[in-house]
Amino acid sequence: MFSRKRVYSSMSAAGAAIAILASGLAGCSGGGGTTAVAPVQQPPVTAPGGATQGDERVVQTLNVSSAPRSSVAHAAAYKLPLQGQRITTMSVGRTVRTGGIYDLAYYGGPYLTSASSYNLYVNCAGTCWGSTSPGTTLSRLAGSTFVHVLDQYVGQTGNNRYPYAAGYQVNYNTSGTLQDQDIYNIVYAVASSVGTGYGKIYHVFLQSGVQQCSQSAGGCYAQNGGYCAYHGAVDFSDIGHTLYTVEPYQAINGCSSPNGKVVDSTLSTLSHEYSETITDPDVQTNLAWYNQYGGEIGDLCRSSYGNVSLSGYTYDIQREYSNKVSACTFTP
């Protein structure tokens, strides 16, 4: 559907492009400082399966062992660094010329024309991320006009293509630092029954005080050189290719929205990873929509925040990049 543009060499433009990007696309910047602080410890809050937690009904509670649930054939991930830290861009091997210097180019990989999202709440059924659950805010995003910024990259314009499907509470031992295998165990517990492939995205939410490191993403949560969140793909030996994001607690310096609210900070990062999973799900292994100077659709607008109405509710979150206007925007 998308034709490949003429290949050219632009190494001489790289320095200027990075300088412009650092100053903030579209003149829109905000957010916390550049140094992350350790999140506050909170005890796990559990609930019976199927209970209504705040504004969201969690369909099932699962008790998951820390023992590996399935062997992993391959895995890769791509991180969102702390505010003020540079995006580590990938070597694309060739430059694909589009419009503006930051416009996303298509490199031939898969993208999602439709997909359902499932939230996996570790030790807390949606109530640990503000007065409005991530499931409710994701539903509002999925039903908004903002999500149609993605239309230009996937060749589809219909409504409700990326719905929020369900929330699951996953009880898991988080007393130590979680590693990649722990995330895979949590994702596998739900994906093994719900399904895998390019039609499903699993979002793993970690409470305040839970530390996590990822060899796949490269670094640790809330640490210098690490990340606020990331998205990735894992190939389980029995159930196959599975898309997921990891969302540690975002209301900390270096990850939060400008107003510091838990709800807005959580949604801002979630919408970033959600949009990148849709437009570039296999970023490390089979590149789709990418920019060699600034990264993926959300990376390009990391410091571009504003108030947006999502299905009638206002949130202070980051914008996403649009090739149509060569800028960060909330408008399709």
Q: What integer pLDDT is reported at residue 330 of this predicted model?
A: 98
Tell me the residue range of the domain where 294 lies. Answer: 40-329
Q: What integer pLDDT is reported at residue 4 of this predicted model?
A: 32
Q: pLDDT by residue (tens digit) across 86-106?
A: 988 888 877 776 788 999 999
CA 30, 36, 38, 44 torsion: positive or negative?
Answer: positive
DSSP state of 178: B
* pTM score of the predicted model: 0.86
CA 196, 57, 271, 267 torsion: positive or negative?
Answer: negative
Q: What would the mean pLDDT of 198-225 be, rounded to a whole number?
A: 97
In a domain, 9, yes or no: no
Looking at the structure of the chain, the number of domains it has is 1
Residue 73 has pLDDT above 70, yes or no: yes
In a domain, 8, yes or no: no
CA distance 80 to 293: 15
In a domain, 229, yes or no: yes
In a domain, 16, yes or no: no
Backbone angles phi, psi at 26, to 5 degrees: 60, 15
Residue 205 has pLDDT above 50, yes or no: yes
Q: What integer pLDDT is reported at residue 90 of this predicted model?
A: 86
Let me know the angle formed at the C-alpha of 125 by 123 and 126, rounded to the nearest 5 degrees: 115
CA distance 269 to 107: 25
Q: pLDDT by residue (tens digit) across 206-219?
A: 999 999 999 999 99
In a domain, 103, yes or no: yes
In a domain, 163, yes or no: yes
Q: What integer pLDDT is reported at residue 54 of this predicted model?
A: 59
In a domain, 296, yes or no: yes
Token pair in block for residue 68: 């590996």
Banded model confidence at residue 126, pLDDT cuts 50, 70, 90? confident
Q: What integer pLDDT is reported at residue 259 of this predicted model?
A: 97
Q: pLDDT by residue (tens digit) across 14-61?
A: 333 333 343 345 433 333 332 233 333 333 333 333 444 558 889 999
Q: How far is CA 139 from CA 33, 230, 232, 256, 283, in A?
A: 29, 20, 21, 21, 25
In a domain, 167, yes or no: yes
N-terminal to C-terminal alpha carbon distance within the chain: 20
Q: Of residues 21 and 131, which shows the higher confidence score?
A: 131
Of 67, 47, 275, the closest CA to residue 154 belongs to 275
